[in-house]
Structure 1
Amino acid sequence: MKRLLLTAVLSALMIAEVHAESFTISDIRVNGLQRVSAGSVFGALPLNVGDQVDDRRLVDSTRSLFKTGFFQDIQLNRDGNVLIINVVERPSVSSIEIEGNKAISTEDLMKGLKQSGLAEGEIFQRATLEGVRNELQRQYVAQGRYSAEVDAEVVPQPRNRVGLKIKINEGTVAAIQHINVVGNTVFDDETLGQLFELKTTNWLSFFKNDDKYAREKLSGDLERLRSYYLDRGYINMDIASTQVSITPDKKHVYITVNINEGEKYTVRDVKLSGDLKVPEDQVKSLLLVQPGQVFSRKVMTTTSDLITRRLGNEGYTFANVNGVPQAHDEDHTVDIMFVVDPGKRAYVNRINYRGNTKTEDQVLRREMRQMEGGWASTYLIDQSKTRLERLGFFKEVNVETPPVPGTDDQVDVNYSVEEQASGSITASVGFAQSAGLILGGSISQSNFLGSGNKVSIGLTRSEYQTRYNFGFVDPYFTADGVSLGYNAFYRSTDYDDLDVDVASYAVDSLGAGVSLGYPISETSRLTYGLTVQQDKLKTGRYTVDEIFKFIQDEGDSFLNFKASIGWSESTLNKGVLATRGHSQSLTLETTVPGSDLSFYKLDYRGQLFKPINNDYTLRLHTELGYGDGFGSTSGLPFYENYYAGGFNSVRGFKDSTLGPRSTPSRGAAVTGNQGTIADPDQDPLPFGGNVLVQGGVELLFPLPFVKDQRSLRTSVFWDVGNVFDTNCGSKPDCTKVGFSDMASSVGLGVTWITALGPLSFSLAMPIKKPDDADTQVFQFSLGQTF
């Protein structure tokens, strides 16, 4: 800038010396232009042919041309009445090269340079380059890289161009050697040190980088320190000063924080003022602050938030509630006044949806509890958001309530969603641990064609099973949420070909069913179902006495009609990979008169997610089952038995290998059945039982180094469970129900939502192994969550 001013002054002096008299311009000529067009010069020049000019107007014209930034030198001359402008253009930037940067990406640096006016093709100004260099230096210092160096080299090139080479030596982030809080008498150094996100170097610093100094982190730590005191009654706590010292080699940082704690204050009185809009007793019930308590800013602000939300539920979306403390230093007490300003009641103008590229608007709209035209209820808006999250179609759901322009009592409600895979359409050749080679094709979609309906069509062929199935569920068969579902299936299963040591038999099943679901509250519903099923049994290589006896007593072909009634409840925050809330279901299924067999099964499933903090969640889950025969049927049919062990049961044990064992057959095959005589020397095999007890505890945590955790779940788990038989008879290794006979394991599990469905695997180590149970350390599953 000084150089420009000097040039302008010299030019003005020269003009004053050469053109002491005014004249009328007959023509204007510009010399020295290379890239800048003559039009740009004439557009900036405040002179035209025919103008009468004097020294002042010529000086003003020179300044105007300099302001364009295109020129580094300008001279005005006169040839008769012709004004001659001689210019020297500034060079343009032909290339920019950046070397040595890692902490800040080249792309981000290029964007920053462009915003500052340095980019290829732009006019080069050294002052701008110097400013950019200083700003980069400041950015690295803010990251704690005090030894960083930024050098800029300007390389002249032909045709009045320059190339820029920016060389960066980022250095290393200075490690924190010591954090010292001075002036604390109430709380010890260790307690206050735990509040800091910044830490001195420790054995976890290599992974967490918590010993690297950053100005932003220190500001956050100081605010946490201040809040800690304010939440414990020290309302006059003050951070007097903060010193950050750097060692001469710029590798270590010493932080000293000087504080004044002040005295502890208690609450003397709590009052309300303003227009409450709701009954005063309801507002008072929300007051978490009570006389006699130690003053806490957190409790005060939480109370303000609760009152604000209560008013928001009544449509006062713009309500403002402030807690105002008034200190009494003489007795160290505080009066708190909550000032309520409800504002106008707001009404919903429009409800809009964004991001649902596959899911139809009506699928989202039918989950709404907030209606257009009604007053804007905070509760109903949030409840609608929760219902969208429970669908399981979206990774994330966000909601905003911007005011409608030009009004003071209307808002729009905007829901933005990010869709995720909710099913699959595949033709597959695969391999599973327990089933061997699998050939199949299937459509399984919880959001079929964006309609919100659940559809599944499948054909699967493996070494031991052939299966055809079709299922359909319309969750909104009626507008008030009554669901309708129906299904048809055929299964041919031969456990002789299964590479799992279970008692073998073959069963062909053909059936169809229908179900109705009826909502009884916002979070629970009743389900009724009826299924007709034809089963035909055959014995196998390892057929056992229990199977032979069942076929002798009951036959080998059955037509059964099964009726079911179930209750379910879910307060989960998400339909897939939930992190908060609970779900549970209770189902009773029984055969009805007209069936060949008489039996029933009662099943309960439940899970609870309890957040520990923002990163860690505790999950408790259980599954209980009981079945038995009635009437002419003695006990639960063996092919309806429960099994335990495997991925969705007790991990670390092979599929279906826990529980009672069978009695190897030593007799002949049943007349009229196509089975064979079993090997008398065959070891007892898992046979299942009529009682299932299993559950576990999981600690969910974020996977390190993965930024997007929304489609990923990792956990450490403890699984327990087993199957029991209340009608043991002569079966060996058969025990009555008892917790002392539970199998258990611990391990690590991962679930990832892929385009093909949830992919899960686990590494587990059994810690209590029942006799004869088969273990399996690594297990995986594609298509179901855990």
Structure 2
Amino acid sequence: MRRGLARASGVVLATAVFLGIGADEASAQDFEGKRVSSVDFRYEGDRRAVDEARLRNNIQLRAGSDYRTDTIDNDIRSLYESGFVDDVRVLAEPVGADGVRVVYAIVPRSEIVGVGFVGNSVFSDNKLAKASELKAGGALSDQMILDARDNLENYYEDAGYPDVLISHRVQPSPSGNGSELIFVIEEGAKNEIRDIRFEGNSVFDDRTLRRQMSIKEKGLFSFFTNSGRFEVDQLDEDLEAVLDYYRSKGYLRASSPGVRREPVGDGRTDLVIPINEGDKYTVKGVGFGPMTVFNEEELYPALTLQGGDAYNSKKMRADMTTIRSYYGSRGYADATVTPDIRDAGPNQVNVIYRVTEGRRFRVGNVNIEGNTKTQDRVIRREVPLKPGDEFNSVELDTTTSRLNGLQYFNNVSVSSSPSARGGNYRDVDILVSERRTGSISAGIGFSSIDNVVGFVSLEQSNFDITNPWSFTGGGQRFATNLRIGSERTDFSISLTEPWFMGQQLALTGELFYRDSQFFSDFYEQTNAGGAIGIRKPLTERTYISAEYRLENVEIELLNSVAILNAGLPPGTPPSLLTGEGGDYLRSSISANWVYDTRDALIETREGAKVDIGISVAGTFLGGDVDTIGLTMRGQQYWNLRWDTILSVQGELAFVDATSGTVPVFDRLYLGGARTLRGFDFRDVGPRDPVTQEVVGGQSLGFFSVEYTVPVIDQIRVAAFYDMGFVNASAWDPDPSDLYSDLGFGVRLKLPMSPVPLALDYAIPIESPDPVADQGGRFQFSLQYEY
């Protein structure tokens, strides 16, 4: 029989004994292209050390594929790089006329039966073992060991030991079975930062320069913010950030000999950063080297750094990115831009952008790797580039942004590489690392509206209703929520298909039940039903949506209404709530147009949102409520100096009855944590003269301005002013009965929640209704945006 043997260095000739059968010398090329009948592993050592499934995860060769020497070589290399094996041989045996059996003969890395530590005095072995997140038993790959070292270094650095050095060794176990992994630790001295100061700076003060750094002095909230702790690598990055700040303000030659650490005792240290500021430089002119694709007149208008400006390194880098984008949009994927900065007189420079244009490309293949759960089609539909398209490197950034926006992956890498189609093609290579997309949460909360409330939430943002085993990977969004409290009971279940019928059209279905007691002291409201909606993007910033909603609304009047009515003098009109009790079937359709340029949905810093919507409920849709509503909302955000945020928001809304009257649940209200914060929830509006309960109006106007200032990364303080009106008649925007309040608050980012908690105190300034003015009010809620 003919057999071949391959090693990581390439295919070689060999005389082998394969499973006890004699072999003749042969070339592995005799097997090239033959069908692989089976792929097996043979252990030469302890079989328990490495599970076979782990080994198979590191090879590409499979039964049924063709035998390729390139594949064999890659598999050998992959097995070595995995760290699970100390030696690999590959043997092949003919099977029939056209088949080949392949065996990977491996010498597994010895089993790690114990993990120990040497040199540690600050932390016990047990604490370090837990921090390493490493467990003995089985072979450990090099990557697993390196990850454990990283975990230990982070553990020490978080405790204020930035100079810790950790190495490792593997030694035979005293028992004679397996090996021990020993981490050798040089802890270094504890260094908590007491003070950061600068020397030689006259243009910018210490406070301004410290703001450019990620490392902070130890402060009052260090247990919460980790201030006072640092990594040596981060210190180097911070020094470069300080110097780049100088260069962005014109100080081209700013430099520093490095950071000094001056111990002050008790494990504390001062960081001293000498600065050589140099002179301020002005840009005399901006030019380009030779170009063929564009001329200077086409590129000049897009540049932010102009002649006469102070030199600015940030603007220069932004202009380089813009120039590359221009070329990338034309298919020049390899275009590079190099700045040539030349002296042009005293404290003046010329900036010349030299472009290496390269060749123009088309898209070859779109290659996707790393997606173990998410289906290829879910990723491909987010990629604007298709095979055969003109290559556009700008769309690589678009792809990265879209895939990150899905929140399915820990890391997303989108790049290009030469294509097998030929020299004028570039492949789009997408490498992703899956993250957990499902979550189950439960807890107890408290707010100024709900009082005490318990909640359970189950969400899966990468749901697949067609996959009954794992229900993941299809790119759908599933959520179910249950909230039970002293003032409410809510349950909802929803499913969204963002690409309905293969089109960028989101289809959402929802079922819900809501029993709300916090709307009023005189009635309880229950909503139960379902909704189905669609959403279609028009541009990157605008979309339209439409929804059909069918729900049963029950208004249960409490006994207090009847008691008050019974005590009225003869001939006095009863409470306005008297006719509101009962069941209503509300069948409605609505449509919205939305323009949204906000940079984030949570803690927005810049951008705007405009939302205009109309809704119609009527008997012609099968219900018994006939109303029409119009709502116009707007928000605008500005990120100002020192990362302060100025925001304004406003709303104008109307509701009218096309038949009969507008029921209490469709009327408009103000007051509470999200509108007029100086007034109780829904306590601004026309009031029932009998119960003194607000029964809502049919026209609403609201405006708010807020300014927040960062204290530390997790805390911002806010000052705000709110004003608004609610009028009884429809289509009546008269602001004569204007309510307003003034207040301040705190925005807290808590570790257990991605949404900041807003704590506000507001004082009414104007209140046409004296009943609504109850003095200063505390309000608190989660500060999410809609």
TM-score tier after normalising by the smaller chain length? 0.5 to 0.7
In structure 1, the partner of 2:333 is 317
Deviation string for 1:254-281 (max 9, x for gaps)?
A: 8877766555443333221233524543
Q: What is the CA distance between 1:522 and its match in structure 2?
A: 2.7
Greater shift in the superposed pair: 266-275 or 432-441: 432-441
Greater shift in the superposed pair: 560-569 or 736-745: 736-745
Q: What is the CA distance between 1:638 and its match in structure 2?
A: 2.0
Answering whether residue 330 of structure 2 is matched by residue 304 of structure 1, we say no
Answering whether residue 452 of structure 2 is matched by residue 452 of structure 1, we say no
CA contact (8 A) 1:501 1:657 kept: no
* TM-score (normalizing by structure 2): 0.60
Q: What is the CA distance between 1:170 and its match in structure 2?
A: 4.3
**Which of 578, 582, 590 matches 1:564?**
590
In structure 1, the partner of 2:559 is 541
1:624-663 correspondence to structure 2 within 5 Å: 624-633=651-660, 636-646=662-672, 655-663=681-689
Q: What is the CA distance between 1:587 and its match in structure 2?
A: 0.9
**Which of 516, 530, 538 matches 1:520?**
538
**Which of 381, 395, 398 matches 2:412?**
398
Relative to structure 1, the CA distance from residue 278 to residue 293 in structure 2 (aligned partners, 3 Å threshold; closer, same or farther) is same
Give me the whole-angstrom Cα distance separating, in 1, the residues matched to 2:232 and 2:750: 37
In structure 1, the partner of 2:740 is 741
Give me the whole-angstrom Cα distance separating, in 2, the residues matched to 1:539 and 1:349: 68
**Which of 367, 377, 383 matches 1:368?**
383
Matching residue's letter, 2:403: L
Give me the whole-angstrom Cα distance separating, in 2, the residues matched to 1:358 and 1:438: 32
Relative to structure 1, the CA distance from residue 362 to residue 736 in structure 2 (aligned partners, 3 Å threshold; closer, same or farther) is same
**Which of 627, 639, 645 matches 1:599?**
627
Answering whether residue 121 of structure 2 is matched by residue 100 of structure 1, we say yes
Answering whether residue 695 of structure 2 is matched by residue 687 of structure 1, we say yes
Between the two structures, name the one with larger relative contact order (CA 8 Å, sep ≥ 6). Answer: 1
Gaps of at least 5 residues in structure 1 are: 1-93, 112-135, 151-156, 665-682, 705-712, 730-734
Give me the whole-angstrom Cα distance separating, in 1, the residues matched to 2:132 and 2:319: 47
Answering whether residue 360 of structure 2 is matched by residue 338 of structure 1, we say no
Deviation string for 1:226-246 (max 9, x for gaps)?
A: 44554444445565x569586
Give me the whole-angstrom Cα distance separating, in 2, the residues matched to 1:514 and 1:256: 62
Answering whether residue 270 of structure 2 is matched by residue 269 of structure 1, we say no
Relative to structure 1, the CA distance from residue 645 to residue 760 in structure 2 (aligned partners, 3 Å threshold; closer, same or farther) is farther
Relative to structure 1, the CA distance from residue 753 to residue 325 in structure 2 (aligned partners, 3 Å threshold; closer, same or farther) is same
CA contact (8 A) 1:394 1:419 kept: yes
SS in 1 for 2:314: helix
In structure 2, the partner of 1:410 is 426
In structure 1, the partner of 2:305 is 289
Answering whether residue 395 of structure 2 is matched by residue 380 of structure 1, we say yes
Q: What is the CA distance between 1:315 and its match in structure 2?
A: 2.5
Relative to structure 1, the CA distance from residue 510 to residue 748 in structure 2 (aligned partners, 3 Å threshold; closer, same or farther) is closer
Q: How well do the aligned residues superpose, as a CA RMSD in angstroms?
A: 6.0
SS in 1 for 2:502: coil
Matching residue's letter, 1:502: D
Deviation string for 1:544-580 (max 9, x for gaps)?
A: 889855776x996766653322112334556777776
Deviation string for 1:356-387 (max 9, x for gaps)?
A: 55543323322322323434423322223333
Relative to structure 1, the CA distance from residue 238 to residue 446 in structure 2 (aligned partners, 3 Å threshold; closer, same or farther) is closer
Answering whether residue 523 of structure 2 is matched by residue 504 of structure 1, we say yes
Deviation string for 1:178-214 (max 9, x for gaps)?
A: 85634x6766778767767778898888987877898
Matching residue's letter, 1:480: Q
Matching residue's letter, 2:499: Y
Relative to structure 1, the CA distance from residue 627 to residue 444 in structure 2 (aligned partners, 3 Å threshold; closer, same or farther) is farther
In structure 2, the partner of 1:133 is none
Relative to structure 1, the CA distance from residue 365 to residue 384 in structure 2 (aligned partners, 3 Å threshold; closer, same or farther) is same
Give me the whole-angstrom Cα distance separating, in 1, the residues matched to 2:492 and 2:231: 59
Q: What is the CA distance between 1:323 and its match in structure 2?
A: 1.5
Give me the whole-angstrom Cα distance separating, in 2, the residues matched to 1:205 and 1:468: 40
Q: What is the CA distance between 1:617 and its match in structure 2?
A: 7.3
SS in 2 for 1:282: helix
Relative to structure 1, the CA distance from residue 703 to residue 502 in structure 2 (aligned partners, 3 Å threshold; closer, same or farther) is farther
In structure 1, the partner of 2:726 is 725
Relative to structure 1, the CA distance from residue 597 to residue 317 in structure 2 (aligned partners, 3 Å threshold; closer, same or farther) is same
Answering whether residue 324 of structure 2 is matched by residue 328 of structure 1, we say no
Relative to structure 1, the CA distance from residue 445 to residue 726 in structure 2 (aligned partners, 3 Å threshold; closer, same or farther) is same
CA contact (8 A) 2:284 2:350 kept: yes
Give me the whole-angstrom Cα distance separating, in 1, the residues matched to 2:454 and 2:276: 71
Q: What is the CA distance between 1:588 and its match in structure 2?
A: 0.8
Gaps of at least 5 residues in structure 2 are: 1-113, 134-152, 168-173, 466-472, 566-572
Matching residue's letter, 1:523: R
Relative to structure 1, the CA distance from residue 452 to residue 621 in structure 2 (aligned partners, 3 Å threshold; closer, same or farther) is farther
Give me the whole-angstrom Cα distance separating, in 2, the residues matched to 1:651 and 1:355: 48
CA contact (8 A) 1:444 1:457 kept: no
CA contact (8 A) 1:759 1:780 kept: no
Q: What is the CA distance between 1:320 and its match in structure 2?
A: 0.8
Q: What is the CA distance between 1:589 and its match in structure 2?
A: 0.9
Q: What is the CA distance between 1:748 and its match in structure 2?
A: 3.6
Deviation string for 1:86-109 (max 9, x for gaps)?
A: xxxxxxxx9965331459995699
CA contact (8 A) 2:284 2:344 kept: no
SS in 2 for 1:628: strand
State the identity %. 18
CA contact (8 A) 1:355 1:419 kept: no
Matching residue's letter, 2:397: D
1:149-160 correspondence to structure 2 within 5 Å: none
**Which of 468, 488, 505 matches 1:482?**
505
Q: What is the CA distance between 1:327 and its match in structure 2?
A: 0.9
Relative to structure 1, the CA distance from residue 465 to residue 727 in structure 2 (aligned partners, 3 Å threshold; closer, same or farther) is same
Matching residue's letter, 1:299: K
Deviation string for 1:606-653 (max 9, x for gaps)?
A: 44565569x96748464625233255545x332212344456556687
Give me the whole-angstrom Cα distance separating, in 2, the residues matched to 1:458 and 1:213: 41
Give me the whole-angstrom Cα distance separating, in 1, the residues matched to 2:459 and 2:131: 47
Give me the whole-angstrom Cα distance separating, in 1, the residues matched to 2:203 and 2:481: 68
Q: What is the CA distance between 1:523 and its match in structure 2?
A: 2.6
CA contact (8 A) 1:100 1:170 kept: no
SS in 2 for 1:401: strand
Give me the whole-angstrom Cα distance separating, in 1, the residues matched to 2:559 and 2:319: 71
Deviation string for 1:407-431 (max 9, x for gaps)?
A: 76524331525545467699x9999
Q: What is the CA distance between 1:311 and its match in structure 2?
A: 1.4
Relative to structure 1, the CA distance from residue 214 to residue 608 in structure 2 (aligned partners, 3 Å threshold; closer, same or farther) is same
Relative to structure 1, the CA distance from residue 526 to residue 273 in structure 2 (aligned partners, 3 Å threshold; closer, same or farther) is same
In structure 2, the partner of 1:84 is none
CA contact (8 A) 1:354 1:415 kept: yes
CA contact (8 A) 2:438 2:458 kept: no
Relative to structure 1, the CA distance from residue 749 to residue 201 in structure 2 (aligned partners, 3 Å threshold; closer, same or farther) is closer
1:603-622 correspondence to structure 2 within 5 Å: 603-608=631-636, 618=645, 620=647, 622=649
CA contact (8 A) 1:753 1:759 kept: no
Give me the whole-angstrom Cα distance separating, in 1, the residues matched to 2:476 and 2:325: 34
CA contact (8 A) 2:403 2:412 kept: no
Relative to structure 1, the CA distance from residue 628 to residue 344 in structure 2 (aligned partners, 3 Å threshold; closer, same or farther) is same
